[in-house]
Amino acid sequence: MSKRFEGKVALVTGASKGIGAEIARRLAAEGAAVAVNYSSSKAGADKVVAEIVAKGGKAVAVHGNLTAAKDVQSVVADTVKALGPIDVLVNNAGVYEFAPLDGITAEHFHKQFDLNVLGLLLVSQEAARHFNPNGGSIVNISSGVSTIAPPNASVYTATKASVDAITISLSKELAPRKIRVNAVNPGMIATEGVVTAGLHEGDMRTWIESVTPLARIGTVEEIAAAVAFFASSEASYITGETLHVTGGFR
């Protein structure tokens, strides 16, 4: 694999499993030193780090709950201390819960907004203070739901629509510092979380495959490839974009 990120430092949030873990592995395979952030699964993060190191890469696990400002500061500080100034930030950490309008509570709202939106902003804020002076790239993991907007998902959809808007706003704000900001919006991806939720088989998957032009769900590798492109110098004139990696489902 090409070494587009040789000498670069990447922080990937929520990288102990699923899409985040694959992004960390992909950036490391292309030469980046990667900070693998996790909130609860130390074992998962350590496993990702071990896989990267076993292949000759460099990685460290950094703990932090991104809804807590003090944790956000330590995540970035630990990354910089271990690896150096940040070149790439991938805001992958997020949660999703579905509920009909009648089932929405303040807890349901804040659980998702505090991580998916506020957490993303806090990490971006702190990381930007410790970016390489030459600039770099922030890639936000949004979701196809931000525009598909399925029923019973108004809060989750709202968090991801917010991520899309933040991506555009920050791309303009950070451009003078040569920090590009883009978003990758996955469709349904076969991850541990999807399997745990029982969504990898049954009505939800059948429905998604039936309305997706490419007639299948996606893989973590397909998301990681898009993230690696945005993070690389090959996307040097691209900022403020949202790329739907959804098999054509819009």
- The angle at the Cα of 137, spanning 135 to 139, to the nearest 5 degrees, equals 160
Which of 38, 96, 156, 237 is flagged as catalytic? 156
DSSP secondary structure, 193-222, as one string: HHHHTTTTSSHHHHHHHHHSTT-S-B-HHH
Give the separation between CA 84 and CA 79, rounded to whole angstroms. 7
Identify the burial level of 100 via C-beta atoms within 10 angstroms of its C-beta, where 0-12 means exposed, 13-18 middle and 19 or more buried.
exposed
Q: Confirm whether 156 is a catalytic residue.
A: yes
Give the separation between CA 34 and CA 20, rounded to whole angstroms. 11
Q: Tell me the catalytic residues.
A: 156
